Amino acid sequence: MSTQSIFAPAQIGRAGEDIAMQLEAAILGEKILPGERLPSERELQTQFQCGRGVIREAIRALKQKGLVEIRKGAKGGAYVKNIEMTNVGESLALFLKQQRVAPGHIVEFRESIDRVIVVLAIARASAAEKQALIAETEKLLEILEGETPDRDSLARQDQILNIALAKMSRNPIFEWVMTAIQQGFSSHDYALYDDPVYCRKTVENWHATACRIAENDPMKALNSISAHYGLLHRCVENQKAESKNVSADGPDTAQVS
Amino acid sequence: MSTQSIFAPAQIGRAGEDIAMQLEAAILGEKILPGERLPSERELQTQFQCGRGVIREAIRALKQKGLVEIRKGAKGGAYVKNIEMTNVGESLALFLKQQRVAPGHIVEFRESIDRVIVVLAIARASAAEKQALIAETEKLLEILEGETPDRDSLARQDQILNIALAKMSRNPIFEWVMTAIQQGFSSHDYALYDDPVYCRKTVENWHATACRIAENDPMKALNSISAHYGLLHRCVENQKAESKNVSADGPDTAQVS
DNA sequence: AGCAAGAGAATGGTACTACCAAACAAAAGA
DNA sequence: TCTTTTGTTTGGTAGTACCATTCTCTTGCT
C-alpha cells in the first residue's frame, strides 16, 4: 500500500540512475525490509511513469550491488536481501586485478592485519574457539600427511583458518577485510602450497600459531605470524624470479635460500 | 584486431549476464585497453545477435562495476577506464550501512590501520612529503582559527590528511582501505568536528602527529594516533549515550503491505 | 474426499521499433 | 579563415509484443 507514495516520477536527465537511487534509498532506509519484495517491473513502470527498460536497468544496478535478488515467475520479482561479504570482496578483487597491485603489497597488508587480528583474538576469543582453531590446523596437517595432499584442499582449509581467526577478533570489519583479500588474492596462497618445502613449513607454522594463541601468548604468536609471512614473501620473490627466467631456462623447482 | 571475432552470441539462460561476462573478460584480459571504446550498442546488438536492451543491461553492469565510462553523442559509447578506489569504497560503505557495524568497530579498525600506516610512512615517505603533511595540518588549524570554522571544511581537510598519510605508506592497499573507510564512515568523523572541545583537540593532535612523523619518531607518532582515536572513541560513546536518550520517541517504521 | 493433471495468471527475459537529446564532424556560407 | 548550419552517430527512453518460468487455482479422474 505504501509503495505508491514513496516513489516519485523522475523526468530529469538519466532517469534510470534517479530511479535506482530512489529504490536504493528505500531499501537502505528500511522502507522495504530484507525478505520483502519490490513492486513488479510493470507496477514500478506506472509508478515512475517511465518505460520498463529504465526500471529494469535500475533493478539490475541494485542486483549488481547485492541489494536485491531477482526471481522469475509468479511471485517473482526483486527481493531485498542482506549484502554478503563476498559481494564486496568481488569489487576489491576486480580493483586489485586491474591495478596490478604487487603481491608484495598484499603480503605486507595481510601481515599487518593478521598481527592485529591475532592480538584481538587472544584477548577476546573463548578458550573453546582457540581449541577449535588448533583442531582446524590439525586438519591441515592431516591433509598434508594424507596420501593425496592436493593443493586445492590445502588452500581451502587455509582460507577456513584465516576466516575463523578473523572471526575471533570480534570485529566484523577484520572479518570482511580478510574475506575480501582471500577472494582477491587466493592465488598467491595457492603458490605457497604448490612448493612442497614451503608447504610443510607453512602448515607447521599455522599449527604453532594456533597453539600460541591458545596459550594466550601474544608475543610468540606474533613471531609465528611473522614467520608465516616471511615464508610467503620469499615464496613470492622466488615466483617473481622464476617467471623472469622461464623464457631462457626451463621451469626449475623452487628452492629454499 | 577487430571485435568481430572475440565475442560470441549467447543463447543460454540469462543472455545479459553472459554478455556482461564476455565483455568483462575482454576488458580484464586486455583485449580492450583502458581509453579504448567498446563497440556501440547497435554494433554489439548485431555481433551478439540479441536485442539492444540486453546489451544495455550488460554495459550498465560494467558501468556499475566501474570498468567503463559511458559518453553520449557521436564518438560516444562505453570507454574502458581504470577502476577508481572510490568505486570499490562505495560497496564497502553499503555493506557497513546495511550490517549496522558498530562505530566502535570502525574506530578500532581505523586505529589499527593508522598505526601501521604511520610506521610505514615514517620509513618510506620523503622529507618533502612529511613537510607537506605538516602544511596540510596547518591548513586545518587555519580553518579552525578562521571566522567561519564550518564543519564541512574541517571534515574535508581531515579526509585529505588521512588520504595523504595513507599514500605515504607506499602501499596502494592501505590507501584504498583508508578511502573506503572514509567514504563509508565520514559521518562519525564529522561528529568529532561538531563538538568544539573535541574539535580543537583533534586538530592540534593532527598537527602533533604530522610533526612526530616528520621527526621520524615512530613511538611518539603512535602515541599521537592513540590520542586521536581515544578522542574519537569517547566522542562516539557520548553520541551513543545521547541517541539512547532520544530514541524513546520511537523511530518511524514505515512498512510495506 | 483426495490427488493429479491442466489451465490461467503473474512476472522476469528478450526482441524490435520508434523517437529524442547530446555530441561530434563535415559541409556551407560569410 | 572563421562561423554557422546541417547531418550522422550514439546513448536514453517509451512502448509493444511475445516467450519462459513459476505459482495458483480449477478441473477431472480415481
Average pLDDT over residues A210-227: 96
Name the nucleotide nearest B73; use CA and C1'.
C23
- In angstroms, rounded to a whole number, what is the distance separating the alpha carbons of residues A53 and B60? 12
A45-55 pLDDT per residue, tens: 999 999 999 99
**Is the CB of residue B42 inside 7 Å of nucleic acid strand D?**
yes
Which residue has better confidence, A9 or B196? B196
Name the nucleotide nearest A52; use CA and C1'.
D14
Chain C nucleotides near the protein (CB, 7 A): 8-18, 21-25
**pLDDT at residue B257 tops 60:** no
Tell me which of 1.20.120.530, 2.120.10.30, 1.10.3210.10, 3.40.190.10 is the CATH number of domain B86-240.
1.20.120.530
- How near does any CA of chain A get to the CA of B134, in Å? 26
**Is the CB of residue B184 inside 7 Å of nucleic acid strand D?**
no
Average pLDDT over residues A83-105: 84
Question: Among residues of chain A, what percentage have pLDDT more than 70?
Answer: 85
- In angstroms, rounded to a whole number, what is the distance separating the alpha carbons of residues B67 and A241? 31
**pLDDT at residue B56 tops 70:** yes
Q: What is the pLDDT of residue A245?
A: 65
**Is the CB of residue B50 inside 7 Å of nucleic acid strand C?**
yes
Residues of B in contact with A31 (CB under 8 A): 254-256
Q: Are A7 and A29 spatial neighbours (Cβ–Cβ below 8 Å)?
A: no
- With an 8 Å Cβ cutoff, are B173 and A97 in contact? no
Residues linked to residue B71 through DSSP beta bridges, in sequence order:
B77
Average pLDDT over residues A149-170: 89
Q: What is the pLDDT of residue A255?
A: 39
Smallest CA–CA distance from A70 into chain B, residue: B14
Instruction: Give me the amino acid identity at A163.
Output: I
Average pLDDT over residues A214-230: 95
Q: Where is average pLDDT lowest: B69-73, B149-153, B201-205? A: B149-153
Name the nucleotide nearest A10; use CA and C1'.
D13
Q: Please, what CATH class does the domain formed by B15-80 belong to?
A: mainly alpha
A21-31 pLDDT per residue, tens: 999 999 999 99
Smallest CA–CA distance from A82 into chain B, residue: B98
What mean pLDDT is reported for chain A? Answer: 85
Assign domain A3-80 to its CATH architecture: Orthogonal Bundle (1.10)
Residues of B in contact with A113 (CB under 8 A): 112
All residues at 6 or more sequence positions from A101 whose CB lies less than 8 Å from its CB, including other chains: B172, B173
Angstrom CA distances, B88 to B65, B84, B165, B175, stand at: 8, 7, 20, 12
Q: Where are the domains of chain A?
A: 3-80, 86-245
**Is the CB of residue A16 inside 7 Å of nucleic acid strand D?**
yes
Q: What is the pLDDT of residue B186?
A: 64
B196-222 pLDDT per residue, tens: 778 888 899 999 999 999 999 999 999
Q: What is the pLDDT of residue B244?
A: 64
Can you give the distance from the CA of residue A62 to the C1' of nucleotide D20 in angstroms? 23
Q: Is beta strand B77-80 parallel, antiparallel or unpaired with respect to B68-71?
A: antiparallel
What confidence category does residue A118 fall into, taking pLDDT thresholds of 50, 70 and 90?
very high
- How near does any CA of chain B get to the CA of A129, in Å? 20
A48-55: Cβ within 8 A, 24+ apart: A48/A7, A48/A8, A48/A9, A48/A10, A48/A15, A48/A19, A49/A9, A50/A9, A50/A10, A50/A15, A50/A19, A53/B53, A53/B56, A54/A15, A54/A16, A54/A19, A55/A19
Q: What is the pLDDT of residue B238?
A: 79
- Written as nine digits, the cell of B121 is 610512512
Can you give the distance from the CA of residue A93 to the C1' of nucleotide D14 in angstroms? 38
Which residue has better confidence, A209 or B192? A209
Instruction: Give me the amino acid identity at B189.
Output: D
Smallest CA–CA distance from B29 into chain A, residue: A98
Closest Cα partner for A67 from A56, A75, A59?
Answer: A59
Residues of B in contact with A87 (CB under 8 A): 91, 95
Residues linked to residue B37 through DSSP beta bridges, in sequence order:
B79
Average pLDDT over residues A238-247: 66
Residues of A in contact with B99 (CB under 8 A): 82-83, 172
What confidence category does residue A187 fall into, taking pLDDT thresholds of 50, 70 and 90?
low
CA closest to C1' of D12 belongs to: A14
Average pLDDT over residues A75-101: 87
**pLDDT at residue B182 tops 90:** no
What confidence category does residue B85 fall into, taking pLDDT thresholds of 50, 70 and 90?
confident
Q: What is the pLDDT of residue B218?
A: 96
Q: Where is average pLDDT lowest: A33-37, A183-187, B243-247? A: B243-247
A74-86 pLDDT per residue, tens: 999 999 999 888 8
- CB nearest B88 (choices: A6, A92, A112): A92
- In angstroms, rounded to a whole number, what is the distance separating the alpha carbons of residues B231 and B192? 8
**pLDDT at residue A196 tops 70:** yes
Give the A:B interface size as CB pairs under 8 Å.
118
- In angstroms, rounded to a whole number, what is the distance separating the alpha carbons of residues A28 and B97? 8
Tell me which of 1.25.40.10, 1.20.120.530, 3.40.50.10540, 2.60.40.10 is the CATH number of domain A86-245.
1.20.120.530
- CB nearest A109 (choices: B92, B106, B173): B173
- In angstroms, rounded to a whole number, what is the distance separating the alpha carbons of residues B232 and B225? 11
B1-15 pLDDT per residue, tens: 444 444 555 555 578
- CB nearest B60 (choices: A57, A92, A108): A57
What mean pLDDT is reported for chain B? Answer: 85
What angle in degrees, to the nearest 10, is found between the helix axes of B103-124 and B218-246?
A: 160
- Written as nine digits, the cell of B177 is 582501505
Q: What is the pLDDT of residue B251?
A: 43
Q: What is the pLDDT of residue B243?
A: 65
Smallest CA–CA distance from B119 into chain A, residue: A112
Q: Are A226 and A111 spatial neighbours (Cβ–Cβ below 8 Å)?
A: yes
Query: In terms of DSSP H, where are the helices of chain A?
Result: 3-6, 15-28, 41-48, 52-65, 85-99, 103-124, 127-145, 151-167, 172-194, 196-214, 218-245
- How near does any CA of chain B get to the CA of A94, in Å? 8
Q: What is the pLDDT of residue A34?
A: 94
